[in-house]
Chain A
Amino acid sequence: QVQLVQSGGEVKKPGASVKVSCKASGYTFHFYGITWVRQAPGQGLEWMGWTSAYSGNTKYAQKFQGRMTMITDKSASIAYMELRTLTADDTAVYYCARRHFYGEGDNHFDPWGQGTLVTVSA
């Protein structure tokens, strides 16, 4: 079955970087994109960006532009998200999800990984 399995939780100090992995299985990896979404404690879902697993093209939410990098490894069917210069506000559960694209303005995300808790604390 289609599955996305993410790396385990991380504890980081302010100013550090974190890299979360997302291993895909059960489908042809480069036929779909990967999106990243996070949820801070007690908050809603926040879109961070997406990447094409085929071309490597990326689209970042303005808030994360310059501080976040998304890459994909087609040979291993793994997507990575790196977030740099962490602050306490980056404490959140980070999710990857497969992006379905039907046309401009017509996308959805399914399935989602299990989530990775990143805690930023001094």
Chain B
Amino acid sequence: QSVLTQPPSASGTPGQKVTISCSGATSNIGRNTVNWYQHLPGTAPKVLIYSKNQRASGVPDRFSGSKSGTSASLAISGLQSEDEGDYYCAVWDDSLNAWVFGGGTKLTVL
């Protein structure tokens, strides 16, 4: 049971916009910056969004991050088949004194 709550699955058709949520607490999302990682089948995880919603190098602007209070979201617009995979939010938790990952969201492109 992760301290960050993500929906287990999300889906969309090519070209659509999909949003993945990440719900936390004051001690984590409320105080610190949120990362988003993409984990495609057979590859290593890759950072998409970091710090104050900065896109990592090489990440298309179809990917964007936002945060409000103790929740964060990853939006993927212009959905493509190659976006199919797992997505994780991650953040430092001041109370646990540890880095925490969300449980992950499996994105399916229909």
Contacts and interface: CB of A to CB of B under 8 A. Distances in A.
Interface in A3-31: none
Specify the main secondary structure of chain A where it touches its partner.
Answer: strand
B104 A105 contact: no
Residue of B35, B44, B88 with highest tally of chain A CB at under 10 A: B44
Interface string A106-119: 11111111110000
Given A45-B39, A107-B99, A111-B46, 18 more contacts: A44-B104, A45-B37, A45-B45, A45-B88, A47-B98, A47-B100, A62-B97, A95-B44, A97-B45, A105-B31, A105-B32, A105-B92, A107-B35, A108-B47, A108-B56, A110-B47, A113-B44, A115-B44
Interface of A: 35, 37, 44-47, 50, 61-62, 95, 97, 100, 102, 104-115
